[in-house]
Amino acid sequence: MFFLFLFIYSFASAADYKNCDQDCRFQCLKIVHDIGDNELNGGHSDEAIEKTSKLCSEFRKCAEGMKFKAPDLIIEYIDKLLILCDVNDFRKSAGFKSFRAKIEANRSPCIREWNPFQIR
């Protein structure tokens, strides 16, 4: 019975992924662009974290559809963006907020000048 449920679920999920046509993929790529743009233009503010969280929520809905019949490199990029979304969700958690307060109270030049998105 469990295997039948698993088969039906995976078949139904695959059918949804196949229905991710060019419009669906275009919308998903726009979300990817918006996430990158938001992260590069102030990803450390509370507003930017919240916006990225909303964008990630939308991206998660179409990410599996984007993986369907995609080259391995594209799948790897999608997985990395999903990891970024998980990290962003952690940044909103109560556990990180207490950690963030400790870091900001002790702002060394290393922390103030750190820019992970700097292009060299």
Q: Tens of pLDDT along 67-81?
A: 888 889 989 999 999
Contact 88, 53 (CB under 8 A): yes
Contact 105, 60 (CB under 8 A): no
Of the candidates 26, 24, 78, which has an alpha carbon nearest to the alpha carbon of residue 56?
Answer: 78
How many helices (H) and strands (E) would you count in the chain? 6, 0
Of the candidates 52, 42, 37, 35, which has an alpha carbon nearest to the alpha carbon of residue 92?
Answer: 52
CA distance 84 to 75: 14
The segments of the chain whose pLDDT lies below 70 read 1-20, 43, 106-108, 111-112, 116-120
| 67 Cα distance to chain centroid | 14
Residue 87 phi, psi (nearest 5): -65, -40
Contact 68, 17 (CB under 8 A): yes
